[in-house]
């Protein structure tokens, strides 16, 4: 399916999962480096030192902490990613790779190129490819998964018939 430039790309993420082939479970979110197994106390200390703001959104699980670009969050502040805690320890890390509202499909392409370059730099090159389609009333999600060792990149496109929009999700996560 070829995407038409007239589609509105809303929020873009690229999902990367698990551990790197080199054994690394760390991810850089702006100036903040987080890794699986890090305590919530150490996360707070590192965020303060990196001058990045953490918040627990009302619409998310209390075990989910969002990492923001700056110390002060307003409508111009970019969300860099989030972490999910279990018993006060980081279990999953999600990294946002694309702009909040990409204006063109090239913004999404640039994000995919960036995360692929990151994979190459980390020597994650032994990969498999899979696709899946998920349908629900008025909505369809198509996902391409590129799994490299214990890391995976999911590129998901969601079409909502009611609002006639397409969003492409591009997030990195590690667990």
Query: Which tens digits make up the pLDDT trace of 113-142?
Result: 888 898 889 888 888 899 999 999 989 999
The pTM assigned to this predicted structure is: 0.67
Tens of pLDDT, residues 30-65: 999 999 999 999 999 999 998 889 998 887 788 999
Phi/psi-derived region of residue 51, left when phi > 0, alpha when psi is between -120 and 50, beta in every other case: left
Give the whole-angstrom CA distance, residue 147 versus residue 124.
9
């Amino acid at each position: 399916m070829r995407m038409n430039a007239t589609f509105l790309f809303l929020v873009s993420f690229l999902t990367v999962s698990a551990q790197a082939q080199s054994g690394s479970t760390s991810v850089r979110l702006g100036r903040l480096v987080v890794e699986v197994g890090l305590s919530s106390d150490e996360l707070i200390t590192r965020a303060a030192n990196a001058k990045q703001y953490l918040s627990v959104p009302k619409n998310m699980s209390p075990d989910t902490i969002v990492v923001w670009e700056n110390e002060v969050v307003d409508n111009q502040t970019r969300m860099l990613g989030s972490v999910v805690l279990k018993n006060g320890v980081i279990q999953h890390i999600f990294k946002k790779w694309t702009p909040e509202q990409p204006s063109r499909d090239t913004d999404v392409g640039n994000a995919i190129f960036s995360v692929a370059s990151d994979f190459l730099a980390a020597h994650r090159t032994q990969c498999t490819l899979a696709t899946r389609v998920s349908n629900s009333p008025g909505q369809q999600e198509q996902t391409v998964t590129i799994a490299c060792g214990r890391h995976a990149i999911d590129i998901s496109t969601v079409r909502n018939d009611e609002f006639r929009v397409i969003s492409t999700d591009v997030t990195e996560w590690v667990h």
